Amino acid sequence: MKVAFAKSDLPKSGTVAVAVSDGRKLGPSAEALDRRAKGAIARAIAASRFKGGSDDLLTLLTPSGIELDRLVLYGVGKPAKLDPLALQSIGGRIAATLGGSGAETASVMVDALDGAKMSASKMAVEIGYGALLRSYRFDKYRTKEKPEAKPTLKKLALLTDGAAQAGKAFERREAVAAGVFFTRDLVSEPANVIYPESLAREAKKLTAQGVRVEVLGEKEMAKLGMGSLLGVGQGSERESQLAVMVWNGAGDMKKHPPLAFVGKGVTFDTGGISIKPAAGMEDMKWDMAGAGAVIGAMKALALRKARANVVGIVGLVENMPSGTAQRPGDVVKSMSGQTIEVINTDAEGRLVLADALWYCQDRFKPTAMIDLATLTGAIMISLGTEQAGLFSNNEDLAAALQKAGAAVGEKLWRMPLGEAYDKMINSDIADMKNVGGRWGGSITAAQFLQRFVNGLPWAHLDIAGMAWSDKDAPTVPKGATAFGVRLLDRLVADGYEKG
């Protein structure tokens, strides 16, 4: 769907959406239309349950005196409480409603509202952004879908004062949305399409946006001593990969060390020899969502020409059972030199990240590292599907991540780390084991990762509950969410860009 901005003239035809605030107070455009309709709009509202709340939408048959095809009233609630997230949600609801209306084009009137803290043009940008995010649809494999089941909306025009400024400001939102959509595509693809080598090829496409990309294969990783990562993929016919993406937006990396993102990319996770139950295993195609978020974030930063140095590293493996698969009880040696007793082959993501984290800090000397991973089911027991778990060894980094997450609606909840938890992963025969027992599973997983962070500011985001949604949300349709892309982009914008 294309989002455009134009001057705030009421259209004389087509589909139009107008604002109504809390208490059924008509906005300026709605009032103008109501005068043409001789009060029919106000009467229709009075006869409905529509109150003008920010969750409310009402589609009306076009009243006499108005030559529009369709009129949609969107609630904005109390104007004083409108903020970017609320406006994005409004935009998402408008897009969802109009997408199934049969209209190919539609206009949204965005007026200055009494009491609102934002100008009309700034509100239009956020409404348009929310509409764009909600318009995403992964339908490439639907070959027999009926036309009436497909969304029809192709263009949404935001009509407002200051349309030119709004259009310019929206360019940055479009860049981030492109990163979000790229991630959603990658995470939605089945595992016979996205596997380590093909996902590495997708990462290589970022060279078109100016990102420097290199891919290490198994021979290169073996020379580096990445026994932890390679052990996970040894049961698969697919070769494991490590993709390295570098965005050089702030000049000399020695003078301006980069921020680093590290992603878990298990393109399919059977659990290995510690095989998962069959029920729901198809969902394990999105066990690479952390890597997908890193790739999407790198695309967003490059498209908007972020003035920051950022490195993205993703460890890409397929965890399969076979005659060559890693066994419970095996001991592997990581790139750091530390040895790991593999108690459970289904606790594989941390083994991938161990070598990716060490490689990242050893090669790039970043100012901080943030890893994203669908790491544990235990985090979903703790936080459900409302927030991701945040673990960190640095208070400033943790606070910056929580602030960025709150700003974009990707919430993080700080979880503990500590010596008592760390002792739970001590092994009798190696430096550590890859699981710590039944209790505190997400915490012991984070403690495992911390052993591969050599004193650097670091944060681990366990996004297992957030990578995929079974229901629609205002700006996130059912399916792959791309959780983390907007968060990482905002973190860079708030604290790591020059000038």
| Domain ranges (residues) in the chain | 2-162, 176-495
DSSP label at residue 258: P
Return left, alpha or beta for 101; rule: phi > 0 is left, psi -120 to 50 is alpha, else beta. alpha
Q: What is the pLDDT of residue 418?
A: 97
Average pLDDT over residues 37-64: 93
Catalytic residue among 25, 276, 333, 411: 276
Query: Does 276 qualify as catalytic in the annotation?
Result: yes
Could you give the CA distance from residue 494 to residue 488 in angstroms, rounded to a whole number?
10
User: What does the pLDDT read at residue 64?
Assistant: 84
Rounded CA-CA distance 181/481 in Å is: 9
Task: Report whether pLDDT(458) > 80.
Answer: yes
Share of the chain above pLDDT 70, in %: 100
Nearest alpha-carbon partner for 141 in 479, 481, 464: 479
Return the H-helix or E-strand segment holding 385. Answer: none
3-state secondary structure of 191: coil
pLDDT at 147: 84
Set 173, 238, 304, 350: catalytic member: 350
CATH domain 176-495 topology? Aminopeptidase (3.40.630)
List all residues 6 or more positions away from 187 whose beta carbon is below 8 Å from its beta carbon: 285, 286, 288, 289, 292, 467, 468, 480, 482
The token pair that represents 281 in the structure block:
């295993």
Task: Tell me whether strands 70-75 and 57-60 are parallel, antiparallel or unpaired.
Answer: antiparallel
Going by pLDDT thresholds of 50, 70 and 90, the confidence category of residue 65 is: confident
- Is 357:449 a contact under the CB 8 Å cutoff? yes
User: What six digits make up the tokens of 338?
Assistant: 């530390």
CA atoms within 13 A on the CB side of 107: 22
Residue range 2-162, CATH number: 3.40.220.10
Do you know the residue count of the chain?
A: 499
Q: Mean pLDDT score of the chain, rounded to an integer?
A: 97
Q: Is 93 a catalytic residue?
A: no
- pLDDT surpasses 70 at 452: yes
| pLDDT 10s digits, 380-437 | 999 999 999 999 999 999 999 999 999 999 999 999 999 999 999 999 999 999 999 8
* Of 408, 429, 411, 406, the residue nearest 466 (C-alpha): 411
**Whole-angstrom Cα distance, residue 99 to residue 96?**
5
**Using an 8 Å Cβ cutoff, are 461 and 370 in contact?**
yes
Q: DSSP letters along 136-180, please?
A: ----TT-SS--GGGS----EEEEE-TTHHHHHHHHHHHHHHHHHH
**pTM surpassing 0.95?**
yes
